[in-house]
Structure 1
Amino acid sequence: MALHNTHSIRHSRCVPILPAIAHEKACCSARLNSARRSILAALVRSLPTVFNCIVNTTYHTSYKVTGDRRIYYDYTTALPDIVQIADHYFVDYGVVRLWKAMMHASCTSATNCAHIYNIALANVESTQFPGTKWFSKDVTMDHVWNAFIICTLLEDCRERHCLLDVGQTINQNEHFIEAMSDRNRRMRVYNQPLARRHFCAKCTRIYNHGDITNQLVSVVVVDGVVVSRPCCSVPNCWVHLHTPQDRFCYVHSARLEQCAIKGCARSVVSGSLTCDIPAHQESEALHTLRGKSQFRLHECLERSRAIHGRLANVQVGDDNDGTQAIGEEEYDVKLGKKKRLRAQFTRNYTHCEELIVAPCGMIYAHETMHNAEGVGSVAEFICRVFRDPETRPTHVFFDNNCQLALHVQNDPFFQDIGLSVDVFHFECKHSRRPPLH
């Protein structure tokens, strides 16, 4: 951790030179603002003097601000040694690479990355830095994530030979939403660049038998990983939530005034999530009780036993068929006649992340399954990823290939693709000869 003063020069005729060095007479006569202390998170102490010259544009260490746009400098030839991640905060690029390696190799959280840096790598002199209400001398989780996002986007722009251009908004967490969404869309359409034409000895074989010579046989595995995230409670809605705590996106925000009981369109009572029907209010009361009582503690205990207990004591439940979303709850209400109600009091979560992986470990693509791992969605996913005939695999392994084969039996795309049935699914899930109609 190093301390450094940053200054700003203001003059309409000032010509910036980065690192900013004033040579013209007009620049020398410019008004020099008061010094501001900044923090450099680095393995070594090395930071050039930083100036902000305003010539209808504000120039910072890593970017310039023109109007309502923040444009990062041209790093297509080489990435910067130091990156500005927030006001008063700079990070050495080697530290960012260290944080990214810790996340990738050991699944270290951003909080622990910051904690480890503050304990082991921060310069002793940083303890003499006077903390203020505006910023602290310690690296925080937000600084780690800002550095991760900025450097990842800069690396992406370097590969595409373009500049990183983002909106200059007031909130730091809104600067890069547009750029990250654009990159996610590109990855969804074009997939991993290195995986498009990947063939290696672990995932590909060349067969020579009889009249068949040099036949290329490749295999991919399609499976879902339960890595859920909050999403809109309206089924099949792809609009992102403004915050993870929201129940609905901005398109369906009017649903907040509608009763949380499934099938009820009545307006909610003020301060409640349900309408004035007594059975619906009783369901909300049970939901509140469940969150505050020992029901929640009992569920936490069961999860802890499943993680830390012996494998023999873990009971395997039935497969989730996707008919009940994660955020939905069922209640048996006994007001007069017993009735079972289904409600959506909390935010919903996506079902899983569907992956297409080669046996060697190369990930071709991934897709978010919002409500269920449906065979129709999986078939569309495979067709989109391997739309180039030269990249199509010879065999696709999927745990529900029997239903997938039934779904695509008339699709010419899958005519030359083998759909092998998983052994466990074949032995346990249904009869060995499912009819194909």
Structure 2
Amino acid sequence: MSLQQITAAVQSHPELGLLDFHGLNLFIRYASLARETIELSQSDQLECPISLPQQILCVLATALGEKDTRLIEICWSAFRGLVWSQPTVSPTDNEILAFNDAALPHGTCDDKNLLTLTDPLTHAGTLFTLRQGALPVFTTSLYCRSCNIRYYHNYHVHKQTSLRTYYGGVPDVVHVAQHFFIESALLELFANNMVFGWLSATNCARIYNEALSTPRQHILNNKFAFTAIYHDTKHFTPDDWTLTRFIRKEDTMNGFFLYSLLLDKAEQGGILMLPHDEASQADRLKPALAERNSAMEGTGQECYAHACDLCFVIAENADGQLMKTQAAACDGNSIGHRSCKVHDCQNPLPNLRHHFCVEHQHLSLKCAVIDCPAQTAPGHRTCDAQDHRSLEAAYFTRGNAMFQLRARLKKAGVAVPDDSVPLEDAAVGVEDDHEVVFEIGPQGPVEVDADDCDGKPEGGNRRLRAIFGGRWTHNEQLIMRTCGVILSRATLFGSEAVSAVNLFAKATFPTPESTPEFFIFDNNCKLDAHQRAIHDDHFKNTGKPVDVFHFNCKHKVTDLHCQRYCNPAAFREMIGADGKWRFNTSICEQTNVWFGGYIAIVRDMEVTRYNFFLDEMIKRRNRYVVAELEAKGHSPWMVPMKALFPEAMEL
């Protein structure tokens, strides 16, 4: 606002002399905040109204400390063109407080809704922002009688189809539940907390509520340190607001999923559509999550075609010809989701309380001892056999849930502190998800390590194997480039069988042109033997070395097949002119330190959410890795997809 504009306005409206420059500036800023509410009363939102509704006049007068609305009417007459033409105002914390104090009694908080024709439905809500904390708002939906569509903040719903059709692009504010809205900037912070901090939705919500829910939260949290100003500090949300100013963990997670879907659709140039009549937001999101999960399988990661000088080398061969050498590595991590207790069954569970899928539900009353066909006794998980009953008693006294979960964290190689395990997981009790082995001897049952029990038991003892709790999938398998970019992920349900790894590798490299020159896997000797046994020549041009660490530690010198086909030193292309390894063959082991950090977050996720969450974490981490590679001068580029899949590109 220029001095020339102010001078002209005062000459036309002498009453403006009652306001100082600060008051005039505040009027324009407050009027801009009220603009979208003003638009709701307009038949044409592009047209600047000559006069304001009485409700808006009262709000602006209260915010500016005026007793009547006459001066506000004059200010609007003088500066309405400026208010209507200027860009969106970024209000200060104090301006938001003052405006909300004035607007809430009149129900006129800015809801940023789309203008439409008639039948407005308004209800209160809470907007969780990154910088201004939790704000009370009103949201209004409107109905078009000619096209039978009701328009909401992020989407519209046709009366006949009952589908939520989202507007194109990614909104600044995401409507995550009926009464709750979250800024996209805050959801982006939550997503990065999950990627780089292994934070659960619970911990994201806790951090927000304790540190960001008001702009003065540091004062409220430390009242003894800020004694002089604590009592003068005003909460950002009025005490009489009927909705909570604390974000809930379910809205944090639903917001993350919805925001990620909107981002994905915007990147693909599509429109998100969800069922409108589902009972919960989790059920509403499930079909779209499943659709994206299917698109991610095999070659779906956006960085799939990545190549750089850490994973893609062009060098002369013995004949002086330039040849490319590209490497990929594969390994598993013991995180997983709940699954049917029948070995290798991939059917989903009806819900997380069940131990068997619908097909195998009849086995729910079978004795927990694996080889026992008898039914369980009432109140027990084993039959009446004395040994089985004593094994059950020993199992349930062997340790608490926190001990078991921490043991799995250690097994996964997680680099996060034990106290990061969410409290609710420890409170409800976590049962073992894997087979337990007890030796039954004269002194009763004694548990032995299932990984080290291939030898014979001690004299006179015998071993019993059982699964008392629910079961989780065996591991998550990753295939990645040796620079750190993850190409694909797959769930192995029953075990890390080489047949399953072979199918996963073929899904990741589905054409001969897409197969790498080297595929690094810690059990390549058995994988190669399996491929030869079934006459599978898909990877006939791929060398299969074992990574250097595992080859030295876990592969016998007497294993001639391993020494002949899988010794990394036998592949000269993997060794540079300086005598050092060209590729980081232990990249999977290093990446698993990051990937294993999600074990406590995903172990009780529904399978559709589980797959989407891990794929999204990988997608975001890949972007970071590629940016870091570029910053360090490793020249990332993308291999043309036609070179990888020529047959598909011709169709």
TM-score, normalization: structure 1?
A: 0.78
**What are the within-5 Å matches in structure 2 for residues 297-316 of structure 1?**
none
Residues 42-93 of structure 1, C-alpha deviations (whole Å, 9 max, x = no match): 1356999632235655543223345685423132xx3111110112100111
Structure-1 residue corresponding to 2:621 = none
Q: 2:519 is aligned with what amino acid?
A: V
Q: Compute the displacement of 1:144 (Å).
A: 1.4
**What are the within-5 Å matches in structure 2 for residues 77-116 of structure 1?**
78-116=169-207
Residues 100-121 of structure 1, C-alpha deviations (whole Å, 9 max, x = no match): 1222233333223222222332
The alignment partner of 1:80 has SS state of coil
**What are the within-5 Å matches in structure 2 for residues 116-195 of structure 1?**
116-123=207-214, 125-130=235-240, 136-167=244-275, 168-195=277-304
Equivalent-residue separation in structure 1 for 2:345 and 2:464 (angstroms): 23
Q: Compute the displacement of 1:161 (Å).
A: 2.9
Q: Is 2:509 aligned against 1:399?
A: no
- Alignment partner for residue 437 of structure 2, among 330, 338, 341? 330
Q: Compute the displacement of 1:365 (Å).
A: 0.4
Residues 365-399 of structure 1, C-alpha deviations (whole Å, 9 max, x = no match): 01112222221111221112111333221111111
- Alignment partner for residue 382 of structure 1, among 500, 505, 529? 505
Q: Is 2:478 aligned against 1:369?
A: no
Once the two structures are overlaid, the 10-residue window that deviates more, 277-286 or 402-411, is 277-286
Equivalent-residue separation in structure 2 for 1:146 and 1:127 (angstroms): 23
Equivalent-residue separation in structure 2 for 1:307 and 1:357 (angstroms): 19
Q: 1:103 is aligned with what amino acid?
A: M
Structure-1 residue corresponding to 2:155 = 63
Q: Compute the displacement of 1:419 (Å).
A: 1.0
Distance 1:400 1:364, change over 3 A: same
Q: Compute the displacement of 1:207 (Å).
A: 1.2
Once the two structures are overlaid, the 10-residue window that deviates more, 95-104 or 335-344, is 335-344
Q: 1:119 is aligned with what amino acid?
A: E
Distance 1:209 1:429, change over 3 A: closer
- Alignment partner for residue 431 of structure 1, among 550, 556, 564? 556
Distance 1:365 1:275, change over 3 A: same
Conserved? CA contact 2:314–2:325, under 8 Å: yes
Q: Is 2:436 aligned against 1:349?
A: no
The alignment partner of 2:265 has SS state of helix
Structure-2 residue corresponding to 1:238 = 346
Distance 1:52 1:270, change over 3 A: farther
Conserved? CA contact 1:258–1:267, under 8 Å: yes
TM-score, normalization: structure 2?
A: 0.54
The alignment partner of 2:324 has SS state of strand
State the structure with more CA Rg.
Answer: 2
Conserved? CA contact 1:63–1:70, under 8 Å: no
Q: Is 2:525 aligned against 1:418?
A: no
Structure-2 residue corresponding to 1:39 = 126
Equivalent-residue separation in structure 1 for 2:408 and 2:297 (angstroms): 37
Equivalent-residue separation in structure 1 for 2:291 and 2:137 (angstroms): 33
Q: 2:546 is aligned with what amino acid?
A: V
Distance 1:58 1:267, change over 3 A: farther
Residues 8-47 of structure 1, C-alpha deviations (whole Å, 9 max, x = no match): 9xxxxxxxxx934355xxx3xx4x65x5321001135699
Q: Is 2:380 aligned against 1:266?
A: no
Residues 161-199 of structure 1, C-alpha deviations (whole Å, 9 max, x = no match): 33222333213322222222222222114331331x322
Give me the identity figure in percent: 28
The alignment partner of 2:479 has SS state of strand
Q: Compute the displacement of 1:128 (Å).
A: 2.0
Equivalent-residue separation in structure 1 for 2:408 and 2:475 (angstroms): 22
Distance 1:388 1:107, change over 3 A: same
Structure-1 residue corresponding to 2:453 = none
Conserved? CA contact 1:82–1:93, under 8 Å: yes
Q: Compute the displacement of 1:236 (Å).
A: 1.0
Equivalent-residue separation in structure 2 for 1:145 and 1:177 (angstroms): 13
Conserved? CA contact 2:340–2:347, under 8 Å: yes
The alignment partner of 2:124 has SS state of strand
Conserved? CA contact 1:352–1:373, under 8 Å: yes
Q: Compute the displacement of 1:353 (Å).
A: 1.1
Between the two proteins, the alignment pairs up a number of residues equal to 397
Structure-1 residue corresponding to 2:578 = none
Distance 1:114 1:287, change over 3 A: same
Structure-2 residue corresponding to 1:358 = 481
Residues 298-321 of structure 1, C-alpha deviations (whole Å, 9 max, x = no match): 9969989x999xxxxxxxxxxxxx
Runs (5+) with no aligned partner, structure 1: 9-17, 309-324
Conserved? CA contact 2:115–2:142, under 8 Å: no
Distance 1:64 1:280, change over 3 A: farther
Distance 1:303 1:200, change over 3 A: closer
Equivalent-residue separation in structure 1 for 2:329 and 2:186 (angstroms): 35
When you count strand as a share of all residues, which structure comes out higher? 1
Conserved? CA contact 1:19–1:48, under 8 Å: no
